[in-house]
Chain A
Amino acid sequence: MDDATREQIQKMIEEHPVVLFMKGTKNFPQCGFSATVVEVLRRSEADFFDVNVLEDPAIRQGIKDFAEWPTIPQLYVKGEFVGGCDIVREMYESGELAPMLEAAGRS
């Protein structure tokens, strides 16, 4: 991944408390896994910045290298990689996600 892409990713996750790299947009998710995370964030009443990786191949590959995580979607909270669809859903169901999102929302 070239430096420009890395800086672009770094900037996005630092500028927004909650960032979701996904296929499609929050209003039109184009993948079941991405749609699941959007739904979890909606139910958690968490505002988030969505990044449609389908529009930018450099970001689509770069984010996988950045997080050492081979799939999309990827959720970031306060600059930290939280997980993909399964982990975010498990954290939502266990109640681990809500306090994390609330803290990010207040920051």
Chain B
Amino acid sequence: MIEAHEVEAKIRAGVPDAQHVAVEDLTGTKDHYRAIVVSAAFAGKSRVQQHQLVYASLGALVGGDVHALALSTFTPEAWAAKQG
């Protein structure tokens, strides 16, 4: 188990240019999270590569304290477009 703000802090520290990071506890059990991450570092990367960047920032957390992490990654442009 780990607090949402700790997951967020790790992502902010580990993903370069993380402009927006939102972490949500999906089940209230502090081990199934959803995270939205917006970073210019995702530009030109495939979805898998973007998610690998986020997983790298979390190290052994995912698969350990965090059983599942639903990730949504965006470049600043894609995020702005999504906001509409």
Contacts and interface: CB of A to CB of B under 8 A. Distances in A.
Contact of B68 (A33, A68, A83): A33
Given A33-B68, A64-B63, A86-B70, A70 B48 contact: no
Contacts of B56: 68
Nearest to B70: A86
A70 B55 CA distance: 7
Nearest to B53: A68
A70 B60 CA distance: 8
**Binding site secondary structure of chain B:** helix
Interface string A51-72: 0000000000000100011110
Interface residues on A, range: 10 to 19
Interface residues of B, number: 14
B23 to A, nearest CB: 15
B47 A83 contact: yes
From B47, B58, B62, name the one whose CB has the most chain A CB atoms within 10 angstroms.
B47
Contact of B52 (A68, A82, A86, A90): A68
Interface of A: 33, 64, 68-71, 81-84, 86-87, 90
